[in-house]
Amino acid sequence: MSQPFSPRRFVAMTIKEFYQILRDPSTMLIAFLLPIILISLFGFALNLDTARTRIGLSMQDTGAAATSLAGAYQSSKWFNIVETGDVSHLKDDLVAGRIRGVIVIPQDFSRQVAHSGGTIQAITDGSMPNNASFIGAYAEGVRATWAAQRAADRGQTGTPPISVDQRLWFNPGAVSRYYLVPGAIAIVMTIIGTLLTALVIAREWERGTMEAIMATSLNMAEFIATKIVPYYLLGLGAMAVCTLMAVTVFGVPLRGSVFALFAISSTFLFSALGQGLMISATTKNQFVASQIALLTGFLPSLLLSGFIYEISSAPVWVQWVTRIVPARYLIPQLQTVFLAGDDWSLFLPDMGALFLFGTFFFFRTLRATKRRIA
């Protein structure tokens, strides 16, 4: 028969759980090696920057203006001219993927420039819409800069067009890694958090030790608490490893406080560990629990959290579905604390949502963990 909460019994069972973790190498690998592998894969593989894009250049005009413009493209930081020649040859390279676009300077370009301005052609691969848009925009930017510099060198003046003085707050260099890596940390913590606890109760059932626990005076709330405390500390350790890699390996600035970072991480771990415990208590099988944890933790977090795809651009019903994905509330907080700093007016609502998720998961875990064998 269960008894009221006993601090001594709680501490003893928690210490027992720590010893069990130390005897299980797989748990330590999940907590510390897996985050390093995943954050390295996400950090090095995901990059939306288009600097030094491989393109081809077709010069159909050998005049001074055409040669000068070709030099502007060759010296641009946005492009890497890897192929030159006629358009038909360059189109074959574009289809084969050896280049991502073709800049065509037409035959009468120098004559056009001398009279009214001149036009060029940018051929891009429409199967990659983002790259195609970037190449077209950068190609026009290089041409416009070249034309302005040419006019200034010739002493030509006129009414300047409306100019935009662009300022990028928080990420002045528009480096995609700076906002992708914090999002990757959220994905990694989702996987780690759910996997760490998705196995613990199922392991007790499979090893036959659950019956021995039921024969003690330990109540089920204490049992669940003794399972969560060690894995919560492991989760914070994994977050520390991910943060250290983000700052030192990938150069992501940490403008917020360490306190805010770990307060945010704690509320998310409360939700992620609770989800894993609920899965473990419901399935009572380690293999099934691990598969469900990956399916319900990794995939929704990757696709429906705003990590890669903007939530506001999705259909309305998908936007509503994202509200039940805990990582949706973690990613904006991590991006803010890394790039902008502490803003508790933004943190607290999302932390409240994560706390509600965790409360729901632990309540369901308690309901699923009955003091009976059946």
Last residue of a domain, one of 103, 120, 153: 153
pLDDT tens figures, 341-352:
999 999 999 999
Per-chain mean pLDDT for the chain: 86
User: Residue 246: is its pLDDT beyond 90?
Assistant: yes
Is residue 115 scored above 60 in pLDDT? yes
Would you say the C-alpha torsion 70, 74, 80, 85 has a positive or negative sign? positive
pLDDT digits (tens, 9 = 90+) for 27-46: 888 888 999 999 998 888 87
Helix axes of 327-339 and 344-368: crossing angle, nearest 10 degrees: 150
192 in a domain, yes or no? yes
Is residue 232 a contact partner of residue 269, using CB atoms and an 8 Å limit?
yes
Which string of b and e fits 161-181 if b means at least 16 CB within 10 Å?
eeeeeeeeeebeeebebbbbb
Last residue of a domain, one of 120, 153, 186: 153
Is the predicted pLDDT of residue 255 greater than 90, yes or no? yes
Tell me what pLDDT residue 159 has. 53
Q: How far is CA 342 from CA 32, 250, 354, in A?
A: 27, 21, 18
Between 268 and 92, the more confident residue is 268
Token duo for residue 60: 């159909």
- DSSP string covering 114-174, please? HHT----EEEE-TTSHHHHHHHHHHHHHHHHHHHHHHHHHTT----PPP------SS-TT-
On whether the CB atoms of residues 329 and 353 are closer than 8 A, the answer is yes
Co-location of 64 and 32 in the same domain:
no
Residue 62 sits in the same domain as residue 206: no
Same domain, 273 and 303: yes
> Phi and psi at residue 320, in whole multiples of 5°?
-70, -35
Is 161 a domain residue? Answer: no
Residues 78, 127: one domain?
yes
Domain range enclosing 68: 53-153
Contacts for 129 with CB less than 8 Å, ≥ 6 apart: none
Long-range CB contacts (< 8 A, 24+ apart) of 71-74?
A: 72/142, 72/143, 72/145, 72/146, 73/103, 73/139, 73/142
Establish if 168 belongs to a structural domain. no
Q: pTM for the full model?
A: 0.80
| Shared domain check, 252 and 145 | no
Residue whose token pair is 């894009």: 53
Q: Is residue 110 domain-shared with residue 217, that is, in the same domain?
A: no
pLDDT of residue 266: 95
Q: Based on the fold, state whether residues 234 and 120 are members of the same structural domain.
A: no
Do residues 45 and 92 lie in contact, with contact meaning Cβ atoms separated by under 8 Å? no
Contact (Cβ atoms closer than 8 angstroms) between residue 206 and residue 286 = yes
Question: Does residue 52 register a pLDDT over 90?
Answer: no
Q: Please tell me whether residues 302 and 358 are part of one structural domain.
A: yes
Is 372's pLDDT higher than 60? no
Kindly state whether residue 106 falls inside one of the protein's structural domains: yes
Range in 65-74, 203-212, 347-356 the model is least confident about: 203-212
* Structural domains counted in the chain: 2
pLDDT band at 160 (very low <50, low <70, confident <90, very high): low
Tokens representing 219 are: 């109540």
Sheet harboring 121-124: ordered strands across?
79-84, 53-59, 101-105, 121-124
DSSP letters for 11-39: HHHHHHHHHHHHT-HHHHIIIIIHHHHHH
* 265 class by beta-carbon count within 10 Å (0-12 exposed, 13-18 middle, 19+ buried): buried
112: domain CATH number is: 3.40.1710.10
In a domain, 29, yes or no: yes
User: Pseudo-torsion of CA 335, 338, 343, 345, nearest 10°?
Assistant: 30
pLDDT of residue 36: 92
The answer on 277 and 223 residing in a single domain is: yes
Report how far residue 284's alpha carbon sits from residue 362's, in angstroms, rounded to the nearest whole number.
16
Q: Percent of the chain, pLDDT > 90?
A: 34
The SS3 of residue 352 is: helix
Residues 117 and 37 in one domain: no
User: Cβ(17)–Cβ(226) under 8 Å?
Assistant: yes
Query: Which 3 state secondary structure label does DSSP give 55?
Result: strand
Domain limit, last residue, from 93, 118, 153 = 153
Q: Which helix (H) or strand (E) holds 61?
A: none
Does any domain span residue 1?
Answer: no
CA 57 distance to own-chain centroid: 35
Query: What's the rounded mean pLDDT across residues 320-336?
Result: 94
Q: How far apart are CA 109 and CA 290, in angstroms?
A: 63
- Whether 182 maps to a domain, the answer reads yes
Please say if the pLDDT value at position 247 is more than 70.
yes
Residue 213 shares a structural domain with residue 135: no
Shared domain check, 231 and 302: yes
In a domain, 337, yes or no: yes
